[in-house]
């Protein structure tokens, strides 16, 4: 995807999030407006549905149902599934699009749930926009951003974004079945790519993007401050690692935390409260974070050191794959 295509898609997604923020009660997801389709072209796709394509359709549906179930969303059962194949008569192109009735089913869901469907479908098609969407959700006023529904939505978006590699697996498997001269146009892109080109594009996108993790822990609070009224930031430390995080908790919780911090500072000691922290991490370290709550670790929480090690290993593997593909 060219920078221009990426910018156009990002702009379209941002417009959808803006529509949700302006009037969340009446938001309706319009996936057709994003044109998130995969186009296949080549001798292999000449008017038949072979095993690789059939497997891709089934894997795509299964992955979508599984990932949404992880954040408590159950899609309605459908004999048509989520994705269907359309082959135009007289054409060598096969178009993957949404199955009959599924878009209307999406629109029946709660608005916040529709946003999670959007994030999941973007991730499945190799478009990891979770961090962008989280940032957009946090723009609409600090009090609204701390509303219960908004906080829960941000948490769920972050949870889905943790599974970037798994979400992309159906697309990667399909690409592996392509013949040398077959072509594919990925969602959000205008130009077709051959097998080697698209594999490099997916590797690059995976390596350059951050992954969201729950890294809940009783971190030492090094700093708790505000630069603008109501916008609090915290500096957390664990061993030799420290990072800054935004505060997405209530004013009452912040006041209680601030009082304990000041009292400890007077006594020359530290506080290390149990914090629920969502961090955006890549091989360079923690690239962004926010405190989502206080209390015991959430389900799927991992050690910060494990998350950092996983992203470092992911980058090493991606570099190795790219080196092999270039040989």
Per-residue confidence in pLDDT tens, the chain, 327 aa: 666 667 777 888 888 888 888 888 888 888 777 777 777 777 666 556 667 777 888 888 888 888 777 777 777 766 666 777 666 655 555 666 676 677 777 778 888 888 888 888 888 777 777 778 887 777 655 445 446 677 778 777 877 776 666 777 888 888 888 887 888 877 767 778 888 887 776 655 444 467 899 999 999 999 998 877 777 889 999 988 999 999 988 888 999 999 999 999 999 999 999 999 999 998 888 988 999 999 999 988 999 999 999 988 887 776 665 555 544
- 211-248 burial: b if 16+ Cβ within 10 Å, else e: bbbbbbbebebeebeeeeeeebbbebebeeeebebbbb
Tokens at 111, concatenated = 């608005």
- Give the Cα separation of 70 and 61 in Å (integer): 15
pTM over 0.75: no
Nearest to 297 by CA among 211, 210, 219, 212: 219
Q: What is the CA radius of gyration of the chain?
A: 22
Query: What pLDDT does residue 104 have?
Result: 78
Q: Do the beta carbons of residue 68 and residue 117 sit within 8 Å?
A: yes
First and final C-alpha spacing in the chain:
23
- Give the Cα separation of 255 and 263 in Å (integer): 12
- The H or E element that residue 213 is part of is strand 211-214
């Amino acid at each position: 995807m060219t920078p221009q295509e990426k910018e156009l898609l990002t702009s379209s997604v941002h417009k959808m999030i803006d529509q949700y923020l302006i009037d969340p009660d009446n938001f309706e997801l319009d996936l057709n407006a994003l044109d998130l389709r995969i186009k296949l072209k080549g001798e292999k796709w000449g008017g038949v549905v072979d095993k690789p394509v059939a497997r891709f359709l089934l894997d795509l549906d299964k992955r979508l149902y599984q990932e949404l179930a992880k954040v408590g969303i159950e899609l309605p059962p459908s004999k048509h599934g989520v994705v269907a194949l359309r082959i135009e008569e007289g054409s060598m192109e096969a178009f993957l699009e949404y199955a009959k009735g599924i878009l209307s089913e999406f629109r029946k869901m709660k608005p916040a749930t529709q946003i999670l469907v959007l994030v999941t479908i973007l991730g499945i098609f190799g478009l990891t926009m979770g961090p962008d969407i989280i940032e957009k959700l946090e723009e609409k006023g600090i009090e609204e951003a701390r509303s219960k529904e908004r906080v829960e939505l941000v948490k769920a978006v972050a949870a889905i974004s943790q599974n970037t590699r798994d979400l992309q697996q159906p697309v990667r498997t399909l690409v592996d079945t392509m013949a040398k001269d077959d072509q594919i146009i990925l969602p959000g892109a205008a130009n077709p790519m051959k097998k080697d080109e698209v594999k490099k594009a997916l590797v690059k996108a995976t390596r350059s993007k951050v992954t969201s993790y729950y890294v809940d822990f009783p971190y030492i609070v090094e700093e708790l401050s505000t630069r603008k009224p109501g916008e609090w930031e915290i500096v957390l430390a664990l061993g030799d690692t420290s990072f800054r995080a935004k505060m997405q908790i209530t004013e009452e919780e912040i006041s209680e935390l601030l009082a304990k911090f000041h009292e400890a500072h007077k006594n020359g000691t530290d506080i290390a409260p149990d914090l629920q922290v969502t961090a955006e991490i890549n091989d360079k370290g923690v690239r962004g974070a926010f405190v989502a709550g206080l209390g015991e670790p959430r389900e799927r929480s991992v050690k910060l050191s494990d998350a950092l090690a996983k992203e470092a290993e992911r980058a090493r593997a991606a570099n190795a794959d790219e080196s092999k593909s270039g040989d």
